[in-house]
Amino acid sequence: MDIGRRAVVTSNVLSMRAEPSDRSERVSQALHGHTVRVLGARDTYLRVRTADQYEGWVHGAALRPLGPEEVYPAPERVRVVRKPLLRVMSASGRTAAAPYLLSAGSLVEDGDTTRLADGSTARLAASGLQVISDAVPTPSAVLAVARGFLGIPYLWGGSSAFGLDCSGFVQLVFGLCGALLPRDADLQAASPLLLDRPLDWPMAGDLLFFGPAQPAPGRSITHVAIAMGGGRYIHSSGRLGVAISQVGDETWRTLVSIRRPAIWPVG
């Protein structure tokens, strides 16, 4: 595939690696229907950049090159998967071979028929799709989406409902509410979209950033969670997966900063 070309993800979820090898660390995931930019190639792998400016190596077979003027999904027909996992059926009513399940955050082109990124048609439950909204999300809306992922297992580099790491969880939740945050916890902590708050009782919707027990250069932020209010927070933990924890627990003792989306009032 030509360097600089745009391509769309055709698999249900696509692992992004630090190096062009399946043995390399998974750094993130790209979801079905999302467009990436090809930056380089090595053997069967392509180095790509996602819409949030994140880069990694992926299997080229899971991408379909887009023409110079081609857009997928068409703007007037774009729908985002809202359920954690949504079953795909073929247009005839049979379960599609692939992708079998689509993660929340995946994009499809929906109208009289639903067109997947590989060009095939499918049937999807309308209740599992939503129009991308320009409305400002509220803290309660963000927390309602976050609760829908309770029980999803932890996965290093995971940013889909098949498995989530802490920052992938936060990015996916806010993305479903129309707010695009950076991919990693340290990048989220530095985002200009967030404002600093004092380290006291957090408000619902605040992002909580934690540091290592023994800080080292370049490792000031190692975990992120979403405050729920009432002394609780929700996060994807390596030990628990997506779960609700209590303010004052062991993780809480390493709290570094509290930041709040600038679009939300503090008072």
Compute CA 63 distance to the chain's CA centroid, rounded to the nearest angstrom: 18
Please count the other Cβ atoms lying within 10 Å of the Cβ belonging to residue 74.
Answer: 12
> What are 22's two structure tokens?
């399946």
> What are 142's two structure tokens?
């963000």
CB neighbour class for 238 (10 Å; exposed up to 12, middle 13-18, buried from 19): exposed
SS3 at position 36: strand
In the prediction, which pLDDT does 90 show? 77
**pLDDT digit string (tens) for 33-79?**
999 999 999 999 999 999 999 999 999 999 999 999 999 999 999 99
**pLDDT digit string (tens) for 14-32?**
999 999 999 999 999 999 9
Average pLDDT per run of 10 along the chain, which is 267 residues long? 93 97 97 98 97 97 95 95 92 64 96 90 89 85 97 98 98 94 95 91 93 67 94 94 91 89 82
Domains of the chain: 6-65 (2.30.30.40), 75-130 (2.30.30), 139-261 (3.90.1720.10)
In the prediction, which pLDDT does 4 show? 92
In the prediction, which pLDDT does 129 show? 94
Nearest in space to 30 (alpha carbons), one of 98, 101, 95, 105: 105
Nearest-angstrom CA–CA distance, 249 and 43: 47
In the prediction, which pLDDT does 217 show? 60
- Is residue 38 within 8 A of residue 2, CB to CB? The reply is yes
Whole-angstrom CA distances from 72 to 36, 178, 211, 263 are 11, 18, 39, 29
Nearest-angstrom CA–CA distance, 108 and 129: 9
φ, ψ for residue 169, nearest 5 deg: -65, -50
- Using the structure block, give the residue that is written with the tokens 């800080």: 215
In the prediction, which pLDDT does 216 show? 58
In the prediction, which pLDDT does 226 show? 98
